[in-house]
């Protein structure tokens, strides 16, 4: 147990110190990001998610990617695309959805990412949902070009008659070029 605790402290200390140089988030750099999504199924999802419900109650599948460009130190403009399907049960047809996202991501002191974005979903429904999203987290830089960014996200529904607000837990994997 002591070895595990010492290893975790050493890795955290190294990544925290390394993240302070800010080279990964400097003007002119690119960001490519894939996020996992642990949250509500109806949100616009540009991340990676697979959920299978018990008792053959259905499944959710999604895959997506986001990219951004740092227009100034620590500030990136981002866009993302995703494709997914929701299947209510084994007898039902899957409902396909295409998701999109545009926004901005700012790294406070080079290691605390805060993001604001607009996201939406194109479906076969009468009204396509859209959301205003806010998220924050921490960027663990595990190398010169790679970070792991766990974070918490809140999506505010812009279609209150059909969709509700939703919390999400994301773990992002980013490449900084």
3, containing H or E segment: helix 2-19
Task: Give the pLDDT confidence score for residue 16 in this predicted structure.
Answer: 47
The candidate with the shortest Cα–Cα distance to 34, out of 80, 101, 90, 72, is: 80
* pLDDT at position 7 over 70: no
pLDDT at position 108 over 70: yes
The answer for residues whose C-beta is within 8 angstroms of residue 1's C-beta and 6 or more apart is none
Whether the Cβ atoms of residue 86 and residue 56 lie closer than 8 Å to each other: no
Of 58-62, 143-147, 172-176, the one with minimum mean pLDDT is 58-62
When pLDDT is averaged across residues 132-141 and rounded to a whole number, the result is 94
Query: Residue 12 above 80 pLDDT?
Result: no
Note whether 83 and 64 are within 8 A (CB).
Answer: yes
Number of domains in the chain: 1
8-17, 96-105, 118-127 — which is least confidently predicted? Answer: 8-17
Residue 15 has pLDDT above 50, yes or no: no
Q: 98 pLDDT exceeds 50? A: yes
List the single range of 18-22, 123-127, 142-146 with lowest mean pLDDT.
18-22
Structure pTM? 0.78
- Radius of gyration of the CA atoms of the chain, in A: 18
Indicate whether 9 pLDDT > 60. Answer: no
Using alpha carbons, select from 170, 110, 175, 106 the residue that is nearest to residue 147: 175
Q: What is the CATH number of the domain that holds 35?
A: 2.40.160.20
Domain of 58 in residue numbering reads as 2-176
């Amino acid at each position: 147990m002591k070895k595990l605790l010492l290893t975790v402290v050493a890795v955290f200390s190294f990544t925290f110190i390394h993240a302070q140089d800010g080279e990964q988030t400097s003007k002119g750099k690119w960001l490519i990001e894939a996020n996992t999504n642990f949250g509500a199924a109806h949100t616009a999802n540009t991340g990676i998610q697979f959920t299978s419900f018990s008792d053959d109650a259905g499944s959710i599948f999604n895959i997506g990617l986001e990219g951004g460009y740092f227009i100034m130190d620590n500030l990136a403009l981002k866009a993302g695309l995703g494709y997914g399907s929701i299947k209510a049960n084994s007898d039902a047809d899957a409902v396909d959805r295409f998701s999109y996202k545009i926004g901005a991501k700012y790294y406070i002191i080079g290691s605390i990412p805060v993001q604001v974005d607009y996201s939406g979903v194109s479906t076969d429904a009468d009204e396509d949902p859209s959301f205003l999203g806010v998220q924050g987290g921490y960027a663990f830089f595990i190398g010169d070009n790679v970070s792991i960014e766990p974070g918490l996200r809140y999506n505010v529904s812009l279609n209150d008659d059909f969709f509700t607000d939703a919390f999400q837990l994301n773990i992002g994997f980013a490449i900084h070029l």
